[in-house]
Structure 1
Amino acid sequence: MSSHTTSRGWSSPILALLQGCGLGACDIAKLCISTPRLLDTNPMRVQAIVACAQNIGVPRGSRMFRHAMRAVASCGEEEIATRVEYLRNTFMWMDGEVGMAISKFPPLLNKSKESLQHRSEFLISEAGLEPVHIVQWLVILGHSLEGRLRPRYYAVKFLKENGLLKRDSSYYTVFKESDMTFKKKFIHPHKEVAPHLEKDYDAACKGEVLTNFRFT
């Protein structure tokens, strides 16, 4: 890394600045890969990005600081304010909730309005999650809506409606599990009574529009 950074001319002030933010070599490498313009940025601009990352509520040295820097690197203060307002309105969050959401999951600032709107409509209007619960379970906003959230919702809805779940599971559990674990918990135990469930679930994950899963 040292020879590369020296050849690019950013090893001394910028590297020292990033290290001073508590970023290790691995974090710095990932940040520069995801935000290559940072390599040739004026140190003053990097300082401004660091300050902006702190201003959205992510402290230096935290594991999310690299993600916060990436999130704000291409945004001005006005644009960040606009995106914060959009998040507040779209997910019906209070001021404290939207601030918590951004500090816990800075990549929210980089998601398109269309993507955020679709997630809000699904999670709040269709799945019935309370806005405050979404703040607590922000990891679900990083998952694919069509390839993960919606298929799992419909699979679990099918199980609930047909009395196949012995206990009610939160949608946080449903959405966060790896695909293998999700199938082990929610699909495979019902192979005999619902032999088409796994096939329908896999088809939904691939983009086929299936809102009704089959017994036969």
Structure 2
Amino acid sequence: MLSTSASATAAPFSLEDYLVATCSLAPAQARKAAQKAFHEATKDCKKKAFEELSHSRLNSASNPNAVLELLSGVGLSRADIAAIVAADPLLLRSLTKNIGPRLLDLRDCLSLSTPQIIRFLLVGSCALHICHISPKLEFFISLYGPFEKVLMVMKKNKGILQSNLERVIKTNLALLFATIVSKMPSILGTSEECLLHKIQFLINKVGLEPQYTLGKPTLLGCSLEKRLVPRYCVMKVLLAKGFLNSNMSFYSFVQIGEVTFKFRYINYHKDSVPGLADAYAKAHAGVVLSEV
């Protein structure tokens, strides 16, 4: 557990000094973290958060100390906590009544290991992400539960009683969701409506299996309008005209960098597939053509 400062001082609270004295950061590292907090919190979307950081949440060491206690309580070491606080010092302003249950969700409900929790918290805006764990978990369970149930029935797993099937499904999905979160924590900051549209497109239009989409969370991190739909249009056209290997997966097609993609699949076929470049541009603008 990190040591905490018990004595109160009359001087105004200093985040930089606190990071040195309590979190064991080097002075230069603490200065950099404090500057990062100021930069991040003064962005339009975080202006209120910074005001809270400066005037209410961190006017004393009491709230940050409580946050550090919670971080320690889920099994994080002194070095782990120092790294997390250095990466996102704004975490110290989170209300303990909000962050406490979310950290317990990471450890208990999602069964994340200590290294996975560290990886999750080291991603920027972790305080925001933590608040979205429970609703996102329920969203994934409600969305993928039926598919998982069908899959289990098809495999004829007779060792599980019907009465326990729902619990087993939720447990398996929670573990799968934990893997997704550890690989791509930013998915928790994406709205459920946005995720639903992406998942529906990948399953109903592209034809991917539900379990496959869960195993490739980076697909869910791509823009539907700017990446997934335009790439699918090009892939469909090139496959139909025999210019693309049928073994090429949509996932691989999406992962190609934009410059390389345009050179290899748009410019290269500009003569053999007239109108492809125009169709790709229109797809980016939200107009999907059925033929090129």
Tell me the TM-score normalised to structure 1 length.
Answer: 0.74
Distance 1:149 1:133 in 2: 15
Task: State the shift of 1:13 in Å.
Answer: 5.9
Superposed, 1:121-140 pairs within 5 Å as 121-140=200-219
Aligned partner of 2:225 among 146, 151, 169: 146
Superposed, 1:1-216 pairs within 5 Å as 2-3=16-17, 5=19, 8=58, 9-10=60-61, 14=67, 17=71, 20=77, 22=80, 25=83, 27-32=84-89, 36=90, 38-41=91-94, 46-55=99-108, 56-62=110-116, 64-66=119-121, 67=123, 69-70=126-127, 73-75=130-132, 80=134, 82-91=135-144, 92-94=146-148, 95=169, 96-97=172-173, 99-105=175-181, 106-205=185-284, 207-212=285-290, 214=292
Identical counterparts, % of pairs: 24
Secondary structure class of the residue paired with 2:229 = helix
Distance 2:265 2:82 in 1: 39
Task: State the shift of 1:98 in Å.
Answer: 5.1
Secondary structure class of the residue paired with 2:143 = helix
Task: State the shift of 1:12 in Å.
Answer: 5.6
Distance 1:134 1:20, change over 3 A: same
Distance 1:40 1:109, change over 3 A: closer
Amino acid at match of 1:122: F
Distance 1:195 1:40, change over 3 A: same
Amino acid at match of 2:142: N
Distance 1:20 1:49 in 2: 18
CA deviation profile, 1:99-130 (whole Å, cap 9, x unmatched): 31343234444432321221122011111000
Distance 1:90 1:191 in 2: 40
Structure 1, unpaired ranges of 5+: none
Secondary structure class of the residue paired with 1:168 = coil
Distance 2:265 2:177 in 1: 29
Distance 2:241 2:81 in 1: 50
Equivalent residue, structure 1, for 2:25: none
Tell me the TM-score normalised to structure 2 length.
Answer: 0.57
Q: Aligned residues, how many?
A: 204
Task: State the shift of 1:23 in Å.
Answer: 5.2
CA deviation profile, 1:156-212 (whole Å, cap 9, x unmatched): 00111121114431011012222123223322321221243223213322x231233
Superposition CA RMSD, Å = 3.3
Amino acid at match of 1:65: F
Larger-Rg structure: 2
Distance 1:115 1:127 in 2: 17
Distance 1:13 1:114, change over 3 A: closer
Distance 2:93 2:179 in 1: 27
